[in-house]
Structures are given as structure tokens and as C-alpha cells.
Amino acid sequence: MACGSTSLWAGEATWFCCGNAWGSCGSAGTGACGTCQSGKNMAAWPNLSAACWDITRPDLCGENMPRRTCGAVMNVRHQCSGATVCVTLADCGPRTKSFCGEATCCNGACRTNRVIDLTPSAFTAIGSLSSGKLPVYIYE
């Protein structure tokens, strides 16, 4: 399946690790889909399943994104640099409800609420891990 260019969502992208053999990520496992690896361009989506939705509850922050399941692909584009990475959904996340209203900005424009979690491989393709968050547009 190829990544597309139809606008799907916008918000903050954060990062997480999965499948690592080191660090506090060592216990993270391979995610809800059983395929997640930090070294691959993968992502976690808050509406991966009904059970996932009950954990992430993005609707409590006004984010009612559609369901997309394991293996779905998305293009994630940095709001300002335009750098883009194509990711495959492999886990449930982020915990949107815990950070309602949080914003990340660049060039004076902000994106609000955590709407996608990227693996380190995917996140570093469009930004720096030490920033922790990026403002992004998401396409499919």
C-alpha cells in the first residue's frame, strides 16, 4: 500500500520506542499489532481499535479521528520544513487525553493535541528526538 496525499488530520507528533533490546524501552514489546520496531518507519494511532480508543480518548480533547487499523499507511509532514515520512500503523497511541490543549509551534503557527506517535526511525526523518514533539500534517 502506498502513502497518499489526501489530508487526514493535523496535530502534534510525539515519539515512542518499540521492539528495542535496551533502555526503558526494552519492556515495550512490539506493540498492539505485534510488528512494531523502533528502527522502522512506523506509528501509533489513537483510534487503532475500540479498545485503543478507550485508552487514548482523543475525543476528550476534541479530536475525533477516524479508525485506521494495523498496517494502514500515512504520510506525516512537518508543518514548517515540509519534510515527510511514510509510516505504517503498528501500535495504539499516543495518550491524547492526558495532554489536552498542549501545542507545538513553528514559524508562529501551532498544532494542538497529540494525534500520532512515531517510531525513532520515522521521527528522525522529519525532526530531532530531543525536541520530543513536532507539529505535523497527516495524509493518506
Partner 1 sequence: MSHSQESGGRRLDRRRFLTTAAVGGATIVGASALGGLDAEAAFAEPMPSLDAAIPAAFAEGRIVATNRNVLDVAGSHGERHLIQLTNATSIWKLRTTTAEAIEVGDGLYARGAAMPDGTIAADAVWVNIVNVYVTIRGIARDRLHLTHGNEELVGHIVPDTTTASYLGGALTADLSRTRIGQEAQVLGAWRPADGAIDIARVSLGH
Q: Per the structure block, which three cell numbers stand in for 103?
A: 501545542
Say whether residue 103 binds partner 1 (CB under 8 A).
yes
Taking the least distance from each CB to partner 1, the nearer of 2 and 66 is 2
Helix (H) or strand (E) holding 63: none
Question: Restricting to residues 41-60, which ones interact with partner 1 according to CB under 8 A?
Answer: none
Taking the least distance from each CB to partner 1, the nearer of 65 and 94 is 94
H helices present in 34-136, as ranges: 50-56, 120-126
The whole-angstrom separation of Cα 139 and Cα 76 is 6
CB 55: neighbour CB atoms within 10 A? 16
Say whether residue 5 binds partner 1 (CB under 8 A).
no
Say whether residue 15 binds partner 1 (CB under 8 A).
yes
Say whether residue 35 binds partner 1 (CB under 8 A).
no
The whole-angstrom separation of Cα 57 and Cα 33 is 19
Residues contributing to the site for partner 1 (CB under 8 A)? 14-17, 19-25, 27-28, 37-39, 78, 81-85, 94-95, 97-103, 120-121, 124-132
